Amino acid sequence: MSQGKVAAGLMVLFIAGVLSGIAGTSIYQTYEREHRGEGGPAAQHDRIMNRLTHELALTDEQHAAIEPIVTRTHVAILELRFAHQAELETILTNGMADLKAKLSPGQQTHLDEMYARLKQRWTKSRDYLEQTKRKLAWFFPTRGQS
C-alpha cells in the first residue's frame, strides 16, 4: 500500500473520530441540560457531593464530615429562594404574559406546559426542603430549623 493511501486512511479515521467526539459531546450536553432538574433537589445534593468527592479526592472520613455542611448550605439556599418565591412568581407571571402576546396559540399551550413542569419542580424542592429541615433538626437540634 502506498504512503498516500495510508495517510489518507489515517486522516479519514482522525476526522471520523473528531466528528464522533463532537456529536457525542453535543448529545451528552443536551441530555444533561434537559435532565438536570429531574430527581429534584435531592439529586442535586447528590451531584454536589459526588463532584466534591471526585474532584477533591475526599476520603470517606472527609466525605462524612462535609456532607452535613453541604446539606445545611443547600437548605439555606433553598430557604432563601423560597423566601422570595412570591416575588419570583410575580416577575415570571408578568414575563409569561408578555411572552404569550408574541406566541401562537399552540406555543402558548406549550409555554403553559413548561410552566406547569417548573411548578412541579418547585413543589419537589419545597417538599425536599421541609423533609431535610426535619432531618437536620433531628441530627442538629440547635441548628435545624430557622
pLDDT in tens, 85-133: 889 889 999 999 999 999 999 999 999 999 898 888 888 888 888 888 8
Looking at beta carbons, which pairs linking 121-130 to residues 24 or more positions away fall under 8 Å?
121/37, 121/40, 122/85, 124/40, 124/41, 125/40, 125/41, 125/78, 125/81, 125/82, 126/82, 128/40, 128/41, 128/42, 128/78, 129/41, 129/75, 129/78, 129/79, 129/82
* 85: nearest Cα among 122, 44, 129: 122
Total number of domains constituting the chain = 2
* 49, 118: one domain: yes
* 45: nearest Cα among 85, 79, 81, 73: 73
Amino acid identity at 75: V
pLDDT value of residue 139: 63
144 within a domain of the structure (yes/no): no
* 52, 23: one domain: no
- 127/72 Cα distance (integer angstroms): 15
* 64, 106: one domain: yes
Residue 10 domain boundaries? 1-35
Across the range 53-66, mean pLDDT stands at 92
pTM above 0.75, yes or no: no
Residue 145 reports pLDDT greater than 50: no
